[in-house]
Amino acid sequence: MFWDKKTETLDRKQMTSIQTERLQDLAQRVCAAVPFYQEFFSKGGVKPEGIKSIEDLQRLPFLSKHNLRDTYPFGLFCRPLKDVVEIHSSSGTTGKPVVVGYTRQDLDLWASVMARTLCCGGVTEKDVVQNAYGYGLFTGGLGLHYGAQKIGASVLPISGGNSKRQIMLMQDFGTDVLCCTPSYSLCLAEIAEEMGVDIKSLKLRVAFLGAEPWSDSMRAEIEKKLNIMTLDIYGLTEIIGPGVASECEYKDGLHINEDYFFPEIINPDTGEVLPYGEEGELVITTLTKEAFPVIRFRTRDITVLNPEPCKCGRTLVRMRRVGGRTDDMLIIRGVNVFPSQIEDVLVKIDGVSPHYLIVVDRKGTMDDVEVRVEVSEGNLFDEIKRFEALERKIKNELESVLGISTRIKLMEPHSVERSMGKAIRVQDKRKLKGN
């Protein structure tokens, strides 16, 4: 199902022409509004009127999170506050948070791209959409909310948490669609089980899961436990929130709404732009946003672009599911390790549940990794031999995938902290020690 079939199925030439026109307009707008961007263009040796094609974008520098922090809170807004009708902000675990603003037209754009997202999973006005993304400064709650309302679905703005109530509403209101983080969807499945509710027998049909990486094996687990289709949705505060890209029912990459969000892939070390099919860091330019447009924003997310039209009919370029960020890669004894690789191994092993925490520390001069993972319910081993065998199995499989050895700590069910939003998967104690 499409929200805007004409745009979602444009051929490449038409798409490029729209993107070029919008980029030319964007260049004029940002330079007229903000001195920062005038300097930004001079650094690239280009004048706004010098932008003749979408490739000219490559002449400009990159924008990073630092630039946004340095101009905190409103320094990069291209519209006066009187035109801004909503403000969101990222959590900002280190330093000042990033602040983004939306004009009325930006909110319309947001609702439209979210409507496209939800249409990818066949949502209609007849559906009850339970929105368990956090409402507030986080963009997940309101983003999904606007999209579902635009379609005309009935939205339940329950936000994250209140898990027993979530299950009760699913039963009583006949929820068709669930929106939340992948980790919270598993938490809900667990709560339903504790309540004696057979979540598989509910009306729930599809879930739109995103805001954090989740492996293919985690997805298989969620689909099995909830008996639903899951779609991966991607976005970030700096660009708009959710609504940047979404999977369709073929689940073969996420369609980027590239008529609004122009993607590039770069080598994160050199900044060189990479061709389609090569893995690198995703960089995005918002082509039409008014209050808070960004040019060549470095997302830190690692992916690959695929321009082939999809079986669903969409021609929008697809990005591979994001497994990690350039800044969440752990370097353990010189080896690069992504938490998602560890998750992938854990979820495939019988006898453990998909709740885990990776604790990294430094003992003397050696990096030390402890993987804490819960054993599955009903798997409380009284027999020490079985316990040790399971530990050994996990350790060996991790070692064969990662190429490093880890320590395994099997935990009792429910002892790893649950999250109602983004799950915390890594505790890197080396950072606290400043090394």
**Cα–Cα dist 322/364, whole Å:** 34
Q: Where do contacts with ligand DLL occur on this chain (CB under 6 A)?
A: 90, 133, 139-140, 210-213, 232-237, 241-242, 299, 301, 322, 325
Element (H, E) at 171: helix 163-173
For residue 262, the cross-strand partners are: 285
Indicate the residue whose CB is closest to ligand DLL: 210
Under a CB-based contact definition with an 8 Å cutoff, are residues 265 and 283 in contact? yes
Report in angstroms how near the CB of residue 239 gets to ligand DLL at its nearest. Answer: 8
Which of 264/301 has CB closer to ligand DLL? 301
| Both structure tokens of 385 | 């031999």
Which of 93/400 has CB closer to ligand DLL? 93
Report in angstroms how near the CB of residue 396 gets to ligand DLL at its nearest. Answer: 28
Which residue reads 């005309």 in tokens?
152
Report in angstroms how near the CB of residue 325 gets to ligand DLL at its nearest. Answer: 5
DSSP 387: H
List Cα–Cα distances, 119 to 43, 226, 250, in angstroms. Answer: 41, 21, 13
Nearest to 236, CA basis, from 177, 298, 178: 298
Report in angstroms how near the CB of residue 144 gets to ligand DLL at its nearest. Answer: 7
3-class SS of residue 331: strand
Which of 210/280 has CB closer to ligand DLL? 210
Which of 242/354 has CB closer to ligand DLL? 242
Which of 44/235 has CB closer to ligand DLL? 235
Which of 89/353 has CB closer to ligand DLL? 89
Give phi and psi for 134, each to the nearest 5. -65, 130
For residue 408, the cross-strand partners are: 371
Report in angstroms how near the CB of residue 278 gets to ligand DLL at its nearest. Answer: 19
Helical segments of 44-161, H only: 65-70, 104-119, 139-151
**Cα–Cα dist 284/192, whole Å:** 39
CB atoms within 10 A of CB 363: 7
**Cα–Cα dist 338/322, whole Å:** 11
**Cα–Cα dist 246/269, whole Å:** 27
- Bridge pairing between strands 86-89 and 99-102: antiparallel
**Cα–Cα dist 267/370, whole Å:** 31
Report in angstroms how near the CB of residue 422 gets to ligand DLL at its nearest. Answer: 7
Report in angstroms how near the CB of residue 217 gets to ligand DLL at its nearest. Answer: 15
Under a CB-based contact definition with an 8 Å cutoff, are residues 375 and 411 in contact? yes
Which of 282/295 has CB closer to ligand DLL? 282
Under a CB-based contact definition with an 8 Å cutoff, are residues 412 and 380 in contact? yes
Report in angstroms how near the CB of residue 247 gets to ligand DLL at its nearest. Answer: 9
Report in angstroms how near the CB of residue 258 gets to ligand DLL at its nearest. Answer: 17
Report in angstroms how near the CB of residue 139 gets to ligand DLL at its nearest. Answer: 5
Element (H, E) at 392: helix 384-402
Nearest to 242, CA basis, from 61, 29, 421: 421
Report in angstroms how near the CB of residue 238 gets to ligand DLL at its nearest. Answer: 7
Which of 139/406 has CB closer to ligand DLL? 139
Under a CB-based contact definition with an 8 Å cutoff, are residues 114 and 148 in contact? yes
Under a CB-based contact definition with an 8 Å cutoff, are residues 251 and 311 in contact? no
Which of 10/256 has CB closer to ligand DLL? 256
Which residue reads 């999809």 in tokens?
310
Which of 77/234 has CB closer to ligand DLL? 234
Which of 325/348 has CB closer to ligand DLL? 325
